[in-house]
Amino acid sequence: MRLLLVEDSALMRRVLRESFAGERDIEITFARDGEDALEKLEQFQPDVITMDINMPKMDGLTCLAHIMERRKTPVIMLSSLTDKGTAATFEALELGAVDFVAKPDGTVSVDLSSVVDELHRKIRSAYDASASRRTREARGIAANRNAQQETPAQSRRLNLARPRAELLLIGSSTGGPGIVQHILEQISGPFPMPILIAQHMPPKFTTTFAQRLDAACPMDVIEVTEPMPLAAGKVYLAAGGRDVVVNRKFNRIMAEPVPSDPQFPWHPSVSRMVMTALDKIDAKNLIGVMLTGMGDDGSTEMAQIHQRGGVTIAQSEDSSAVFGMPGKLIEKDGATVVLDAEDIPEQMKRWLGMVAPIRRSKC
C-alpha cells in the first residue's frame, strides 16, 4: 500500500512515522501542506491519503476538492474536536472524504495512542475497499447483483405494506453520513413510525451531524442525549461516544443513552441498539437498514430481525464505501433485499404503504 500522510506539523509527522514503523507492507510519503500534497499525488500516486484540515498555504478542504477532481483517492481526515473542526469534517465528507479520525488533543496531538489503532484500521479498510472496487471494475462484475436471487415469494414480500411496524433502525459507519442524509431527505409526507440511527462517531460529532440533518431533512432530527419517548415522524440519532438502547415504559417505546460497553467494540453500537429493540418489540414490527461500514457491528442482531419475520435492507457493495457491515449481514442470511443507496428510501416507503406497490405480470 502506498500511503500519503499530509501533515504540516513536524512533531506530528514524527509521531505518525513512528506509529507505522512496524507496518512492513506500507510505503509512506509525507506532504507538509496541501500544495505539497497535490505534487505528491502525481509523483507518488498513493492508494490512501490521510490529511489534516488546518494547514498553511492550502488547507485540507481545498486540497481534498482538488484531489477528487484530479485523481480520486480514498482520503481520511484528521480532525480536531473543536466546533469548527467538527463542521469542517462534515464538509470534508460531503467533498468525498471516506472517513475521519478525531485527534484527542486538538490540532497538534503528541499522544495519538488512543486513536492509532482506529487510524490504522480505517486506512486498511479504505485500501481494501478501493482495491476490491478496482478488481470488480477490471473484471466488469456488478457486485451483489446475484447476492440474493429473488424468489416469487420474496418479490411479493418486498412490496408488502407493513402498517404494524413500530420502529425503523438504521446502522451506519464509514461512508454513512452522506447516505443517511440522502435517505432522510427522500422521505416526505407523514412518516408512520420513528427512526432510530446508530452512526459510529465520537462525542461532539453527532451533535453537529444531528443539526445538519435537522436543517436538511423534512423530519425533525434529535440527538438522544437523555431518555426520550420515540414519536412517529421523527428521527433520533444516538449520541457519539455512548450507546443507545431501546426500552418500553408505560407502553411507550423509549430511546435511552447509556455508557458504552467494552463488549461492543464500536460506538454507538448497532448491535446493542438492535438487540434491545428485539427484546422490547416483536421482530415482525421492526425494519432494519444496514449501511456502509467496516466490521460486523449489528449484523448478527439485524439478521435476527429478518429471520424472525421482520424485513431488512443491506446496502449494495457497489454503493458502499466499505462493505463490511452490510456484507456480513448478507453472509448471515439476514438481508431481505440488497439495494443501492439511492433505492433504499423507495423500498422503505413501499414497505410502509407510502407508495403504490409494483404491479408484476402473472407470467
Per the annotation, the verdict on 220 as an active-site residue is no
d(C-alpha 313, C-alpha 56), whole Å = 44
Please name which of 352, 172, 132, 344 lies closest in space to residue 268, comparing C-alpha atoms.
172
Per the annotation, the verdict on 36 as an active-site residue is no
Q: Are the beta carbons of 170 and 273 closer than 8 angstroms?
A: no
Rg (alpha carbons) of the chain, rounded to whole number: 21
Q: Which of helix, strand or coil describes residue 337?
A: strand
Catalytic hit among 52, 297, 306, 320: 297
Catalytic hit among 79, 109, 172, 173: 173
Q: Are the beta carbons of 60 and 53 closer than 8 angstroms?
A: yes
Q: Which of helix, strand or coil describes residue 333?
A: coil
d(C-alpha 86, C-alpha 95), whole Å = 14
| β-bridge mates for residue 170, sequence order | 197, 289
Pull the grid cell for residue 92: 470534508
Per the annotation, the verdict on 297 as an active-site residue is yes
Q: Which of helix, strand or coil describes residue 238?
A: strand
Looking at residue 70, the DSSP 8-state letter turns out to be H
Diameter of the chain measured on Cα atoms: 69
How long is the chain?
A: 363
Give the β-pairing of 242-249 and 311-315: unpaired
Catalytic hit among 200, 296, 316, 319: 200
Q: Are the beta carbons of 19 and 44 closer than 8 angstroms?
A: no
Residues annotated as catalytic (active site), given as ranges = 173, 200, 297
